[in-house]
């Protein structure tokens, strides 16, 4: 079930399963802690995601094939141990879905055969789990959005997506915490600061829940939102 693939001279990826599955998030969370405790001194970075854990290691301290063997043994031991429960924290994030900022809402509506209003209602309907943090500081990968909304990434990524943009790709959704290049379909924008360096930003953690709430233009501007 668990597979480890060597990628470069000093990196590998552990694949815990296929697709997006909330139970994998708990396995990965547990693996991160166990690997850190046992092999932390050999590693330079760990990037947990939905169903994988990317690891960079010190080539001067361990070689890839040896580390893979050690990791497999550790993970097999972990699989036989029970996973503890966890507390759910839910964050409400206001989103303005107006045309000035919803650059791809029309496209998503066309692809899904839904009206703009239906797309917005569906996007706000359920809370989403933080499956991973990455891509840029504080960028949270949230899932899973309703199947009707699933839209592929843009064929050519935009060179700049504005901070606060709320976007979707496949069955995922996210908020861009800062201006950044990106290939996701933009549905709206939040006035809420999201960058971890901003003291007003919510402290989102892997495993938390996020719920989007539609706001109008006036509320967006009153909350400090920018339309440029």
Partner 1 sequence: MINPGPLSQIQDFGRYGQQRIGYTQGGPMDEHAFLWANRLLDNAPEAAQIEITYGGLQLRALDATMAAVTGADLGATLNGIPLAPWHSFYLAAGDTLLFNFPRKGLRSYLAVKGGLQVSPRLGSCATVMREKIGGLDGQGGKLRQGDRIPCLGQEKSQPMRVRPAYIPDYDKLLILRLIAGYQYHHFPAETLRRFFSSRYGVSQQSDRMGYRLIGAPVECSLKGIVSEGISYGAVQIPGDGQPIVLMKDRQTIGGYPKLGCIASLDAGQLAQRMPGATVCFRRVGLDEVSEERSQFNRFFGLIC
- Chain residues in the site for partner 1 (CB under 8 A): 5-11, 13, 15, 19-20, 32, 44-56, 58-61, 63-64, 132-139, 141, 152-157, 159, 169-170, 172, 178-181, 183, 196-197
> Shortest gap between Cβ of 42 and partner 1 (angstroms)?
10
Place of tokens 């006036």: 218
In the complex with partner 1, the residue whose CB is nearer, 109 or 132, is 132
In the complex with partner 1, the residue whose CB is nearer, 55 or 149, is 55
Angle between the 116-125 and 105-112 helix axes, to the nearest 10 degrees? 90
Question: Tokens in use for 13?
Answer: 């990826």
> Shortest gap between Cβ of 57 and partner 1 (angstroms)?
8
In the complex with partner 1, the residue whose CB is nearer, 49 or 192, is 49
> Shortest gap between Cβ of 193 and partner 1 (angstroms)?
13
> Shortest gap between Cβ of 184 and partner 1 (angstroms)?
9
- What is the gyration radius of the CA atoms in the chain, in angstroms? 19
> Shortest gap between Cβ of 43 and partner 1 (angstroms)?
8
In the complex with partner 1, the residue whose CB is nearer, 197 or 213, is 197
Question: Tokens in use for 54?
Answer: 């990317």
Strands (E), the chain: 3-8, 11-15, 43-48, 52-57, 90-96, 128-133, 140-143, 158-161, 165-169, 172-175, 180-182, 185-189, 209-215
In the complex with partner 1, the residue whose CB is nearer, 62 or 124, is 62
Place of tokens 């080539």: 59
d(CA 184, CA 193): 19
């Amino acid at each position: 079930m668990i597979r480890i693939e060597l990628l470069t001279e000093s990196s590998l990826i552990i694949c815990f399963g296929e697709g997006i599955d909330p139970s994998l998030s708990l396995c990965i969370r547990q693996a991160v802690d166990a690997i850190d405790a046992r092999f932390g001194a050999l590693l330079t970075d760990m990037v947990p995601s939905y169903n994988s854990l990317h690891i960079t290691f010190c080539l001067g301290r361990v070689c890839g094939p040896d580390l893979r063997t050690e990791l497999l043994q550790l993970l097999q031991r972990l699989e036989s141990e029970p996973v503890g429960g966890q507390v759910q924290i839910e964050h409400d994030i206001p989103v303005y879905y107006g045309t000035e900022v919803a650059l791809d809402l029309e496209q998503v509506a066309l692809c899904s055969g839904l009206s703009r209003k239906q797309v917005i209602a569906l996007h706000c309907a359920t809370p989403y789990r933080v499956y991973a943090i990455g891509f840029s500081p504080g960028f949270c990968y949230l899932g899973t959005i309703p199947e009707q909304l699933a839209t592929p990434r843009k064929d050519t990524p935009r060179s700049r997506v504005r901070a606060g943009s709320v976007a979707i790709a496949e069955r995922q959704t996210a908020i861009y915490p800062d201006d950044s290049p990106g290939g996701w379909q933009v549905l709206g924008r939040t006035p809420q600061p999201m960058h971890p360096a901003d003291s007003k930003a919510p402290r989102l953690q892997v495993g938390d829940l996020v719920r989007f709430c539609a706001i109008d233009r006036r509320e967006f501007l009153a909350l400090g939102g920018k339309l440029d």
